Chain A
């Protein structure tokens, strides 16, 4: 039962907890690493979340106020995710299980349990290959990397779509390439063989221009003999027995960095790089809700670490009340309007004051966004990455902000305006924090979000 968690919760950042004075009300969500014990799959708080990819039905409020976030409907629970600090580069859907969705085997037999897999082309099938899909952005520089070793086949064609480079996986030499039909080859590096015959292969190429983002594939075509031409169709001698082994493939935008392990879209890790944990809201129906909070104040500070995936629909990051356009309350939206590259804030006692323009926020831009508001002054300010970006002195009406739950990820009531993106942490408190307190809170959120302020 959640009752056992009421009161101060151990494990949260002490400086953050200290922002919540005895009489303050609000909510603190941080440190989403499941090992901390703050997350549960069910709303009753009985089944711990243990790994990325699991649904999250309960997030403990670390402010000590007992305003735990829950959702009792299974389908509406967000998903726990993690990625390396600095973000996800590997565009493949899975890098250590090539049998998963997103990978396909063409005229070949794929065996293995991961991370090592063996590809044996069927006899007499020069188009035999394994391929992993990704969405190409067009005319930009990409890097492919993988480890490969011969199992009877001496050559492999490595590239994107049908364009690539022949590599002799026995000697490490490179052969001809046909990138001219799909971008251009920039560089190719084949490492020395280790004791088991594994070599690293890194191919950098410039993609051709596509009018729109296009699904294509990283492809690996084995060839038993020396290929007779630059295209993968020139594979020679495939006999249904010989092949190559591959492991740890990646395909990324740009050339910086190396392999990232992609277990699923929600679980990407990188050796030596700290993991950043987040709640993934699907942009369809995911939502978490606090109990009703009697705000008891005409002030608020609301801050969140987010990364919006898409602006195709407006999305509620957090809203106090079911609809700030008709009830007292406040909201933080990303975006504020479908199709806009912005975020929006509003506050209302009896008159809604929105600030939905002039707050730039791009898709896939991790950021600390939020608001401060004081209906008595009156004042409302939108904040981004440690600074005010716009403010208003418009009248919000007189009084406090009301007596409601805080809805995260989707508007309450009609259950609409779903947020499509990641939430790394959130702080809501019923007073306007001082500048020094804002600095503490926003720097903490920046660490949790992987943003440098």
Chain B
């Protein structure tokens, strides 16, 4: 099992959720990326998801997409698939950007957030 943490730009949330439908476990995975409540240093907004997945997840995410039994918009999912970028050690940080689904594969989700360079939009209490 591996942990993958993905920053999805606000403009890609719809497509990314269709990809989640194809790779996920049920129809509610269409809500994997919720409100864009994370932001980068420049204030650009993202939805962030982090989960433990099987070792085969990365290969599955790069394979030709198949519609799941609960249905999915394959064209939208394919757009999201084409936007996936997996961080490698030599890549520059912050890794989150408006033109990609930035994925970081490290055990510690907080370390992944640091690589992505995103933080929660502040809430007052």
User: Which A residues are in CB contact (< 8 Å) with B125?
Assistant: 314, 325, 333, 336-337, 344, 346, 354, 356
Task: Please pick, from A73, A284, A310, the residue contacting B5 in the complex, using a CB distance under 8 A.
Answer: A284
Interface footprint category on A: 35 or more
What B residues does A76 contact at CB under 8 A?
A: 32, 49, 51
Are A284 and B113 CB-contacts (below 8 A) given A313-B119, A313-B120? yes
The residue in chain A whose Cβ has the minimal distance to the Cβ of B114 is A312
Contact (Cβ within 8 A) B52 A416: no
- Provide the main secondary structure of the chain A interface: loop
In the complex, B115 has a CB within 8 A of chain A: no
Complex Cα gap A314–B32 (Å): 21
- Residue in chain A with minimal CB distance to B34: A415
- Which of A74, A264, A285, A333 is close to B24, meaning CB atoms less than 8 Å apart? A74
B49 contacts across to A, CB distance below 8 A: 75-76, 284-285
- Encode contact with A along B1-29: 1 for CB under 8 Å, 0 otherwise: 10101000000000000001000111011
Query: Given A314-B123, A416-B37, A417-B123, is A75 in contact with B26 using a C-beta cutoff of 8 Å?
Result: no
B73 interfacial contact with A, CB 8 Å: no
Q: Report whether A55 and B26 are in contact in the complex, using a CB–CB cutoff of 8 Å.
A: no
- In the complex, chain B residues 98-114 whose Cβ is within 8 Å of any chain A Cβ: 107-110, 112-113
User: Residue B107 contacts which of A93, A313, A344, A354 (CB distance < 8 angstroms)?
Assistant: A93
Report how many residues on chain B are interfacial, defined by Cβ distance under 8 Å.
32
> Which of B20, B24, B120 makes the CB contact (< 8 A) with A416?
B120
CB within 8 Å for A73 and B52 given contacts A283-B109, A312-B110, A314-B125:
no
- Tell me if A72 and B28 are in contact (CB < 8 A): yes
Q: Does A292 contact B (CB under 8 A)?
A: no
Residue on A nearest B26 in the bound complex, by CB = A72
The answer on a CB contact under 8 Å between A282 and B123 is no
**CB-defined contacts of B107 to chain A, threshold 8 Å:** 93, 101-102, 264-265
| Complex Cα–Cα for A101 and B108 (A) | 11
0/1 interface trace, chain B 31-48, chain A, CB 8 Å (1 if under): 110110100000000001
Q: Answer yes or no: B50 CB below 8 A from chain A CBs.
A: yes
Q: Does A75 lie within 8 Å of B37, measured CB to CB?
A: no
Q: Are B48 and A285 in contact (CB under 8 A)?
A: yes
A42 to B25 CA separation, bound complex (whole angstroms): 9
Interface residues of A in 75-98 (CB under 8 A from B): 75-77, 79, 93
Kindly state the separation between the CA atoms of A381 and B71 in the bound complex, as whole angstroms: 49
Of all A-B residue pairs in the complex, the 8 with the closest CB atoms, nearest first, are A72-B28, A75-B51, A284-B50, A415-B34, A416-B37, A282-B109, A75-B49, A74-B25
Give me 20 A-to-B residue pairs in the complex whose CB atoms sit less than 8 angstroms apart, sorted by A's number: A42-B26, A53-B1, A53-B52, A74-B29, A74-B32, A74-B51, A265-B108, A283-B110, A284-B109, A284-B112, A285-B34, A313-B120, A333-B125, A337-B125, A338-B120, A354-B125, A414-B37, A415-B35, A416-B123, A420-B110
Interface set of A (CB-CB < 8 Å, partner B): 42-43, 53, 55, 72-77, 79, 93, 101-102, 264-265, 282-286, 309-310, 312-314, 325, 333, 336-338, 344, 346, 354, 356, 411, 414-418, 420
